[in-house]
Amino acid sequence: MQTLIDAGIAFIIGLQGLGDWLTIPMQFFSYLGTEDFFFLVLPLIYWSIDSALGLRVGLILVTSNMFNYMGKLLLQVRARIG
């Protein structure tokens, strides 16, 4: 039984090692959801592309954050640390 467990652990460690090349693309996609990204892109959309579109995107962002906050309050979901 211990041999099977050791083989399973080795298999999982091998699978986890295959994803190292995904670290940078996943960090990029994670950055797309940060406040810094929105503070950079929202003014760019508003001033450079279309002010109405910028206002709509801003309204969607504020509304989404409001529903997210209210949902967390109602369900008492705690954020994971780490």
DSSP string, 32-54: TTSHHHHHHHHHHIIIII-HHHH
Total structural domains in the chain? 1
**Residue at 43 is within a domain:** yes
For the segment 50-62, what is each residue's pLDDT rounded down to a tens digit? Answer: 999 999 999 999 9
Say what the pTM is.
0.58
The answer to whether residue 49 sits within a structural domain is yes
Q: What percent of the chain has pLDDT over 70?
A: 96
Euclidean distance between CA atoms 68 and 75, whole angstroms: 11
pLDDT band at 19 (very low <50, low <70, confident <90, very high): confident
Task: Give the three-state DSSP class for 81.
Answer: coil
Is 81 within the bounds of a domain? Answer: yes
pLDDT (0 to 100) of residue 80:
74
- The average confidence (pLDDT) of the chain is 89
Helices (H), 1-82: 2-18, 23-31, 35-44, 51-75
Higher pLDDT, 59 or 16: 59
